[in-house]
Chains A and B, each alone.
Chain A
Amino acid sequence: MAEKILIVDDEIDMLELLELIITDRTEYAVVTTNTPLEVPELLKKDSFDLLITDLRMPDIDGIELIEMVKQIDDQIPFIIITAYGTIESAVEAMRKGAFDYITKPFRQEQILLTIEKVMKWRRLQKENIALKAELERIKKGTNG
């Protein structure tokens, strides 16, 4: 089962470019939305391994979006795409728990590398969770 990435950006061309690069160069499944307010809905319907979001959007800004996402799923990692001038916001996003940030305009190698880093970590996280669950089960088994 391929890992799923949710990309949020108000700019449709950007969404399409990211989708194009990721689907073209990786095996990950991609879901895009240009409406940040849809994100909670999407998260509830489906499970994602990565959230990529633009920091500056008209309805809701990236930081608020992270807050919202965390309330639904506090385990999901995310990458912030930011313009050159809003590094302070990117730093804040990191504090809020963003895995990494990419400044626009970016080269495809850069984004792919970052995605790969996150996915590795995500797998480890998942594995960790699975192992912990296994351990619990064994403990129960031995006890039981």
Chain B
Amino acid sequence: MFIQTKKFILSIGILTVVLLIAGLIVGFYSLRYVKEIVSEQFNQQQLELATHAARQLENQFLNTIQDVTILNQSPSVQYLEKVSWANRIKITLSTMQETGVQEIGRVNGSGKTLFAVTQKQEIRVTPGSYRMQEAFLWAKKPENKNRIFLVPDDKETGTIKKPVLKVIMPTYLESADDAHPVPGHQFAGYIYLILDKEYFVTQMLKDIRSGKTGYAWAIDNEGNFIYHPVPEFIGKNAFAVRGQREAKISFDQINRIQKEKMLRGVQGTSWYVSGWHRGVRGNIKKLIAYSPVRLQGTSPSFNWAVAVVAPVTEVDEVIHTAYLWQFIMQGFIIFAIILGSLSIIGFEWQYTKTLKTEVERKTKDLQRSEEQYKKLVEGAQDIIFSATREGRFLSLNRYGANFLSGELFNPEAQVSPGTRHYQDHTVKFIGKELAQFFPLNGTFHPQLIEEIWHTGRPKTIEHSLKIGANDFWLSTQLIAIKDEMGQVQEVLGISRDITEKKKIEKQMINTEKLASLGLLAAGVAHEINNPLGVILGYCDYMLDKIPPEDKVHKVLEKIERQGNHCKRVVENLLSFSRYTEHSDTISDINLNLENVFAVVENNLMIKKIQLKKNLEANLPRVKADPVQLQQVFLNLMNNAVAAMPKGGFLMVTSRWNIYDDKVEVVIADTGTGIKKENRERIYDPFFTTKKVGEGTGLGLTVTYGIINHYQGTINLETKTEEEDPINHGTSFTVTLPVYHSKREAEKKGV
């Protein structure tokens, strides 16, 4: 799950990076594309500018030609009338000065004189042999009538030569005026004007702006600059001058454009690399739009070309600004993505870290709780085990191992935890059958585990258990341990030693039983007492009446004897059931014991029983009737003697239990012990193991009644020879509360 998430995040990351790179590439291409488009558009605009400039130049030229044509129609110019020709030209010149016309003149039909007016209003009449010149020869040809001949030339104005264009138009005498009413139509030389090419073009091109810094330049049909913002270029050859200025840069591109496109009268757009732009030098890419200038009516056709150029940066700046914003935006997005990713990664890392620490903590907790549980289980004073479905041990705690191996009752045999031997000690149980240790009689049967496995419900049973010579009672709770799916995995068993509890329980039952028996006995005694009284009364009366030698007297004696036996039984019953004697007598236990010893001593010797006395001196006194106490001790000792037909030891101990503030008397024998089946019945009235006539079965009953009457208790421990061949025998412990006089109690503040 976690690994999948990690993979997913990683792939998302990779995808994001790929997308970002793709975005950048797309952005780059889109920039290029936009650049191309915008450059194209920009160039189209430049082309419009160039075309417009070219048209204007053409129109300007056309206008000039028209003006010259009109002038050529003028009779004063045709006929070179002395009075007016110069004025006439001056008028035209004054209107044409704007366009860079420097001079207008005429060469007469003979070709021997030239008449000219300069822009400075100078009138020159220069004789010369013009008739042999190319212009005159061209003009003279009749087919060139109404045509224009352009002659490039250099005109010296002061020190510098300036490229000029001589425009030649043949003149024929066709106009009429007062002096010449009928035109002769003959050839009359030609009219010419000298056009300052640079000036002419500059007027048109100098104000052209493409973008912010773009400008126009122009070349003539020989590839010379007729206009350029760099003044020294003007008149220079465009193919050479650039290279001269910036030798490092290759001007092949522009040269190709000039040669193949511009000089061929083609219009179009392109780009080239220049070495400068308006004072900025360097490798500068420029966009160029060029358009031809067709000088109309010239023969041969004569073309210039106008170019409008602007550095690419013009376009780039615009786009770059937009793109800068776009990139900034993209940057923000990328930043946001990266930030988001980082925070996710960070969060994930943090989360993972937290998870890790959490897991570590939980693991530690788990370990701790496991340790705790282990300690609990190992330190528990219960048998804790788990078992398989087949009823075999899966685990067992220390107490359990000690208990079941019988070592619990032999402190020297116990093993401390942590040792290898200890491990073996508990391990040796694993895999063994429960049945080996828990007797499968009655409650703890083999089907029990199966039943729990089947129902999944816990069950508590009480069962007995024999370890060595000892009998135990265990309360075992069996619990089904289920996995997450609710399937039973194992059965957990917790067995508690309830032997003591059982003892007390039995005593309680006994007490209850005897109390109810007491009531019953009292009732029976009373019921028997009355008729018995009557029987014995009449018997007594009869014995008085009949002489002793009579047979009847013997019969009556028998009746009286049996009646008296009845009477004894009834008296015993009554003394067991209810003590009417409100005797405030205080007894000295040791003294009473000594009294009894005196009585039984003889009997003990005969029966080969050794008396072992262990009487604590200075015992506190108890509140009980000494006669009755002696009866109790006598009964117990008689029983002990009866239990040792082959002799043995009678051990009598008296002690003061200061914790409970009670005096205890233990009367123990090394006799046969009380059989298991008899143990619960020993206090029952008329229960006896003696032969018929030897005992009434009321000895212990009365003993119990007496002890009970004085708020005492009586307990026994017994082992038969079968149970313990060495340490068999019975020991009765009588406990009586210590008597405190009223004065003593007052002193104590009770």
Q: Are B529 and A105 in contact (CB under 8 A)?
A: yes
Q: Are A84 and B570 in contact (CB under 8 A)?
A: yes
Q: Are B580 and A17 in contact (CB under 8 A)?
A: no
Q: Are B577 and A85 in contact (CB under 8 A)?
A: yes
| B533 interface hit (Cβ, 8 Å) | yes
| A46 interface hit (Cβ, 8 Å) | no
Q: Are A14 and B578 in contact (CB under 8 A)?
A: no
Given contacts A20-B541, A108-B540, is CB(A87)–CB(B580) below 8 Å?
A: yes
Q: Are A17 and B534 in contact (CB under 8 A)?
A: yes
Q: Which residues of B contact A (CB under 8 A)?
A: 522, 525-526, 529-538, 540-541, 544, 563, 567, 570-571, 574, 577-578, 580-582
A7→B17 CA distance, assembly (Å): 128
| A104 interface hit (Cβ, 8 Å) | yes
The contact string, 1 if C-beta is below 8 Å from chain B, for chain A 72-103, is 00000000000111111000000000000000
Number of interface residues of A (CB under 8 A): 19
Q: Are B529 and A84 in contact (CB under 8 A)?
A: yes
Given contacts A17-B534, A84-B571, is CB(A104)–CB(B529) below 8 Å?
A: yes
| A41 interface hit (Cβ, 8 Å) | no
Interface centre among A11, A21, A104, A105 (most CB of B within 10 A): A105
Which B residues are in CB contact (< 8 Å) with A121? none
Q: Are A105 and B537 in contact (CB under 8 A)?
A: yes
| A13 interface hit (Cβ, 8 Å) | yes
Query: What are 20 A-to-B residue pairs whose CB atoms are below 8 Å?
Result: A11-B534, A14-B530, A14-B534, A17-B534, A17-B537, A20-B541, A21-B541, A83-B525, A84-B529, A85-B574, A85-B577, A85-B580, A86-B580, A87-B581, A88-B582, A104-B532, A105-B529, A105-B532, A105-B534, A107-B540
Which A residues are in CB contact (< 8 Å) with B534? 11, 13-14, 17, 105
A132→B541 CA distance, assembly (Å): 41
Considering the complex, which residues of chain A in the window 104-136 have a beta carbon less than 8 Å from any beta carbon of chain B?
A: 104-108
Which A residues are in CB contact (< 8 Å) with B530? 11, 14, 83, 104
Q: Specify the chain B residue showing the minimal Cβ separation from A102.
A: B533
Q: Which 10 A-B pairs have the closest CB atoms?
A: A105-B533, A104-B533, A87-B580, A17-B537, A105-B536, A13-B534, A85-B574, A83-B529, A84-B574, A108-B540
A56→B531 CA distance, assembly (Å): 14
Which B residues are in CB contact (< 8 Å) with A17? 534, 537-538, 541
| A24 interface hit (Cβ, 8 Å) | yes
Which A residues are in CB contact (< 8 Å) with B541? 17, 20-21, 24, 108
User: In the assembled complex, how far is the CB of residue B24 from the closest CB belonging to chain A, in whole angstroms?
Assistant: 118
User: In the assembled complex, how far is the CB of residue B427 from the closest CB belonging to chain A, in whole angstroms?
Assistant: 65
Which B residues are in CB contact (< 8 Å) with A84? 525, 529, 570-571, 574
Given contacts A14-B530, A84-B571, is CB(A108)–CB(B537) below 8 Å?
A: yes
A13→B532 CA distance, assembly (Å): 11
Q: Which of A56, A83, A85, A106 contacts B537 (CB 8 A)?
A: A106
A24→B538 CA distance, assembly (Å): 13
Which B residues are in CB contact (< 8 Å) with A86? 580
Q: Are A85 and B578 in contact (CB under 8 A)?
A: yes
The contact string, 1 if C-beta is below 8 Å from chain B, for chain A 1-30, is 000000000010110010011001000000
Which B residues are in CB contact (< 8 Å) with A11? 530, 534
Q: Which of A14, A24, A88, A104 contacts B580 (CB 8 A)?
A: A88
Q: Which residues of A contact B (CB under 8 A)?
A: 11, 13-14, 17, 20-21, 24, 56, 83-88, 104-108
Which B residues are in CB contact (< 8 Å) with A13? 531, 534
Q: Specify the chain B residue showing the minimal Cβ separation from A15.
A: B534
User: In the assembled complex, how far is the CB of residue A82 from the closest CB belonging to chain B, in whole angstroms?
Assistant: 10
Q: Specify the chain A residue showing the minimal Cβ separation from B571.
A: A84
Which B residues are in CB contact (< 8 Å) with A106? 533, 537
User: In the assembled complex, how far is the CB of residue A39 from the closest CB belonging to chain B, in whole angstroms?
Assistant: 20
User: In the assembled complex, how far is the CB of residue B333 from the closest CB belonging to chain A, in whole angstroms?
Assistant: 110
A71→B530 CA distance, assembly (Å): 29
A21→B539 CA distance, assembly (Å): 12
A78→B531 CA distance, assembly (Å): 23
Which B residues are in CB contact (< 8 Å) with A14? 530, 533-534, 537
User: In the assembled complex, how far is the CB of residue B168 from the closest CB belonging to chain A, in whole angstroms?
Assistant: 179
A107→B536 CA distance, assembly (Å): 8
Which A residues are in CB contact (< 8 Å) with B580? 85-88
Which A residues are in CB contact (< 8 Å) with B533? 14, 104-106
Q: Specify the chain B residue showing the minimal Cβ separation from A111.
A: B537
A84→B567 CA distance, assembly (Å): 10
A66→B563 CA distance, assembly (Å): 32
A104→B534 CA distance, assembly (Å): 9
Q: Specify the chain A residue showing the minimal Cβ separation from B521.
A: A85
A6→B159 CA distance, assembly (Å): 195
Q: Are B540 and A83 in contact (CB under 8 A)?
A: no
A20→B541 CA distance, assembly (Å): 9
A93→B581 CA distance, assembly (Å): 16
Which A residues are in CB contact (< 8 Å) with B535? 105
Q: Are A105 and B567 in contact (CB under 8 A)?
A: yes
Which A residues are in CB contact (< 8 Å) with B582? 88
A107→B577 CA distance, assembly (Å): 24
A106→B536 CA distance, assembly (Å): 8
Q: Specify the chain B residue showing the minimal Cβ separation from A104.
A: B533
Q: Are B526 and A85 in contact (CB under 8 A)?
A: yes
A108→B545 CA distance, assembly (Å): 13
A13→B536 CA distance, assembly (Å): 12
User: In the assembled complex, how far is the CB of residue A81 from the closest CB belonging to chain B, in whole angstroms?
Assistant: 9
A86→B571 CA distance, assembly (Å): 12
User: In the assembled complex, how far is the CB of residue B196 from the closest CB belonging to chain A, in whole angstroms?
Assistant: 169
A83→B526 CA distance, assembly (Å): 7
Other than the given A85-B526, A85-B577, 17 more pairs (CB < 8 A) read: A14-B537, A17-B537, A17-B538, A17-B541, A56-B526, A83-B525, A83-B529, A84-B570, A84-B571, A85-B578, A104-B529, A105-B529, A105-B533, A105-B535, A106-B537, A107-B536, A108-B541
Which A residues are in CB contact (< 8 Å) with B536? 105, 107
A84→B536 CA distance, assembly (Å): 15
User: In the assembled complex, how far is the CB of residue A25 from the closest CB belonging to chain B, in whole angstroms?
Assistant: 9
A105→B531 CA distance, assembly (Å): 9
Q: Specify the chain A residue showing the minimal Cβ separation from B533.
A: A105
User: In the assembled complex, how far is the CB of residue A87 from the closest CB belonging to chain B, in whole angstroms?
Assistant: 4
Q: Specify the chain A residue showing the minimal Cβ separation from B582.
A: A88
Which A residues are in CB contact (< 8 Å) with B540? 107-108
A17→B525 CA distance, assembly (Å): 21
Which A residues are in CB contact (< 8 Å) with B526? 56, 83, 85
Which B residues are in CB contact (< 8 Å) with A24? 541
A43→B420 CA distance, assembly (Å): 98
Q: Specify the chain A residue showing the minimal Cβ separation from B536.
A: A105
User: In the assembled complex, how far is the CB of residue A13 from the closest CB belonging to chain B, in whole angstroms?
Assistant: 5
A40→B538 CA distance, assembly (Å): 29
User: In the assembled complex, how far is the CB of residue B702 from the closest CB belonging to chain A, in whole angstroms?
Assistant: 14
User: In the assembled complex, how far is the CB of residue B531 from the closest CB belonging to chain A, in whole angstroms?
Assistant: 8
A24→B540 CA distance, assembly (Å): 13
Q: Are B525 and A108 in contact (CB under 8 A)?
A: no
A21→B536 CA distance, assembly (Å): 13
A127→B563 CA distance, assembly (Å): 43
Which A residues are in CB contact (< 8 Å) with B581? 87
Which B residues are in CB contact (< 8 Å) with A20? 541
User: In the assembled complex, how far is the CB of residue A30 from the closest CB belonging to chain B, in whole angstroms?
Assistant: 15
Which B residues are in CB contact (< 8 Å) with A87? 580-581
A42→B525 CA distance, assembly (Å): 32
Q: Specify the chain B residue showing the minimal Cβ separation from A107.
A: B540
A87→B579 CA distance, assembly (Å): 10
Q: Specify the chain B residue showing the minimal Cβ separation from A13.
A: B534
Q: Specify the chain B residue showing the minimal Cβ separation from A20.
A: B541
A105→B566 CA distance, assembly (Å): 11
A106→B578 CA distance, assembly (Å): 20
Which B residues are in CB contact (< 8 Å) with A56? 526
Q: Specify the chain B residue showing the minimal Cβ separation from A89.
A: B580
Which A residues are in CB contact (< 8 Å) with B578? 85
Which A residues are in CB contact (< 8 Å) with B563? 105
